[in-house]
Amino acid sequence: METDTSANKTGDAQRAAENMAQHAGSAAERVGEAAKSAGKHVGAVAGEELTNLRADLDDLITRISTLSDVELEEAKEKLMEKIAAAKESARNIADNARDQFQHGVECTREYVKERPLEAVGYAAAVGFLVGLLTRR
């Protein structure tokens, strides 16, 4: 009878660990998908900015021989403004990404503080799964 109770406890513990691992896996998958989506958006915006800058440079190069000194100076100023705008846009994207990362870190910290045993369980379950996967 004692063996049955021990087996039941082991089975319950194993199911609980599998449940925790499933929740941790789902959370990690959602975080990964959000990061991937944000990365695609950032890449699209940056690509569009670079394409526009390249088009402006190509246009300037084709017209450079026909421009007067004043027009050339104006074109240079416009180009420098666009480069500055592209740099600012890249800086804003980097700041936004850093803020999102910091928010994720803070949420994780709060979760661990509020539920330390659950967090340890998730970490153990993930470690167990990683160990199983790397062993194969």
What's the pLDDT score for residue 51?
A: 83
Residue (of 56, 55, 33, 52) closest to 44 by Cα position: 52
Going residue by residue through the chain (136 aa), what tens digit of pLDDT does each one get? 445 566 666 666 667 666 665 665 566 566 666 666 766 776 777 778 778 878 888 887 888 888 788 888 888 888 888 888 878 878 888 888 888 888 888 888 888 888 888 888 888 888 888 888 888 6
Amino acid present at 91: R
Q: How many CB atoms lie within 10 A of CB 21?
A: 19
What's the pLDDT score for residue 133?
A: 85
Helix axes 116-135, 2-63, angle to 10 degrees: 80
pTM of the model: 0.48
Separation CA 124–CA 136 (nearest Å): 19
Separation CA 28–CA 70 (nearest Å): 57
67: part of which helix (H) or strand (E)? none
